[in-house]
Structures are given as C-alpha cells and as structure tokens.
C-alpha cells in the first residue's frame, strides 16, 4: 500500500512537470475527485463511530432507567 506522503510527493512532481493549463486542469479534476472520495470515506467512518456511540449511550440510558 502506498503511503500518503508518497501520493503527496507524486502530486508535487506532477504539478512541477505540467507544462500547460489543459493538462493541469485535467490532473486537478482527477485528483480533486480522488480527494473527495477519500473525504467521503473518512466521513463514513466518522459517522459510523458517532452512530455507534449514540446507540451505546441510548442503551446505557435505558439500562439506567430500568
């Protein structure tokens, strides 16, 4: 698996090697979509953790009230 710093270095190298705006715009479009996908997956994990915590809290409250 590639590490985040390797991917970041590749982006920097791509940026340095890009000679025209069309190539840069296309690269930005693809990279931006990939980052949005990464962000969505991070949100998924965050939201899953929040929901699990909420469920546990609800269960604990119910047990306390019984």
> How sure is the predictor about 66, in pLDDT bands with cuts at 50, 70 and 90?
confident
Most distant pair of Cα atoms in the chain: their distance: 69
Give the pTM. 0.73
Domain for residue 13, yes or no? no
Domain for residue 9, yes or no? no
pLDDT digits (tens, 9 = 90+) for 7-63: 999 999 999 999 999 999 999 999 999 999 999 999 999 999 999 999 999 999 988
How many structural domains comprise the chain? 1
Domain for residue 45, yes or no? yes
Domain for residue 66, yes or no? yes
Q: How many residues does the chain have?
A: 66
* Count of Cβ atoms closer than 10 Å to residue 7 Cβ: 13
Burial of 63 (0-12, 13-18, 19+ CB in 10 A): exposed
Q: According to the model, what pLDDT value does residue 20 have?
A: 95
> How sure is the predictor about 1, in pLDDT bands with cuts at 50, 70 and 90?
confident
Q: According to the model, what pLDDT value does residue 37 have?
A: 98
Task: Look up the domain containing 63 and give its range.
Answer: 38-66
């Amino acid at each position: 698996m590639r590490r985040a710093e390797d991917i970041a270095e590749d982006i920097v190298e791509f940026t340095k090697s890009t000679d025209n705006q069309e190539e840069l715009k296309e690269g930005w479009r693809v990279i931006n979509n990939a980052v949005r996908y990464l962000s969505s997956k991070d949100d998924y994990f965050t939201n899953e953790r929040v929901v699990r915590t909420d469920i546990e809290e609800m269960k604990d409250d119910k047990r306390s009230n019984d």
